[in-house]
Amino acid sequence: MSILADTNILLRRTQPSHPSHTLAVESVAKLIAAAEPVYFTLQNASEFWNVATRPVSNNGLGFSGALALAELEKIERFLTVLPDSPAVYAEWKRLVVRHGVLGSKVHDAKLVAAMKCPRHPPDPHVQHRGLHPV
């Protein structure tokens, strides 16, 4: 099964007092324990950094750059980054045109494109037919 971690899962992991913290941590831990690869993308990383370093007064977490980096490096230790490529760009463009994707939803289309494009070398655990966001 192909699993892409939603940015909110990555953020909740860093917030022990958040009501969804335990669910975020335990769900990813169960997938990893079951040897299911869990992925994230540059899009997830940039969204994470945006929210993590944004001031609390602007609906962010107020992390310093150093703390955001430390948290991002924890994510990198446990999850697998899906690289961007010309194929991801082409698939993203096809998706937004075919499905009439407008506005902020274009970011979600990029995540779908990253999951649909084959990796090199191909990962035998990834099924390109379905996206299972965590």
pLDDT (tens, 9 = 90+) of the chain, 134 residues, equals 779 999 999 999 999 999 999 999 999 999 999 988 899 998 999 899 999 999 999 999 999 999 999 999 999 999 999 888 899 999 999 999 999 988 878 888 888 998 888 765 445 554 443 444 44
pLDDT (0 to 100) of residue 132: 46
Identify the pLDDT of residue 127: 44
The whole domain housing 37 covers 3-133
Please state, in angstroms and rounded to a whole number, the distance separating the CA atoms of residues 68 and 49.
6
Helices (H) and strands (E) in the chain, counts: 6, 4
Q: Considering its fold, how many domains does the chain have in total? A: 1
Identify the CATH number of the domain in which residue 71 sits: 3.40.50.1010
Minimal CA–CA distance to 75: which of 55, 51, 101, 48? 48
**Residues, the chain:** 134
